[in-house]
Structure 1
């Protein structure tokens, strides 16, 4: 799930997943963090979900995917678009 909060000139994106689905550590990786899995690991929010927050420039588009332990890549069904390989988000 994607949560968006518009700020002056930027959009704060929360990439949100259920706490234990998948049951391994998960990171959001994308062109905004040079596909680095250590940059944005999802952290527990205490409400049964986990999230990572990224601030992106307004009126921009970015590719991303989730990466779980064991080299398990997966998509976000709520992404704005899918380009065949990656999810796309528009701010």
Structure 2
């Protein structure tokens, strides 16, 4: 899994690209604070090499809790900026700082 950040000079947003190698998966989405945990708005596209990838523009100077939803199962990104305990989920969420 990988996270790439590209800060824009023209506006206060960061283009964040999420990449998830999951050849066997049918669907992968990234859900979090930035999309109200809605997988409908955050599906990643499957590339020919089996990696799922998607880019989102997020307002800067914020932190966002997020997780991947891979075929209905939640997973964290080991390359997240940090991890935060979430009482609602009863587990840690990955955190992205932009």
- Give deviations 1:60-81, integer Å, cap 9, x for gaps: 1111000122x30000000000
Residue 61 of structure 2 corresponds to residue 89 of structure 1? no
TM-score by length of 2: 0.81
Unaligned runs of 5+ in 2: 86-91
Return the offset for 1:48: 4.5
Unaligned runs of 5+ in 1: none
Give the alignment's Cα RMSD to 1 decimal: 1.5
Equivalent in the alignment of 2:89: none
Aligned residues: 89
8 Å Cα contact 1:29-1:67 kept in structure 2: yes
Equivalent in the alignment of 1:60: 62
TM-score by length of 1: 0.87
Residue 76 of structure 2 corresponds to residue 75 of structure 1? yes
Equivalent in the alignment of 1:36: 38
Which of the two has higher C-alpha Rg?
A: 2
Equivalent in the alignment of 1:50: 52
Return the offset for 1:23: 2.0
SS at match of 1:86: strand
Return the offset for 1:45: 3.8
Residue 20 of structure 2 corresponds to residue 13 of structure 1? no
8 Å Cα contact 1:40-1:53 kept in structure 2: no
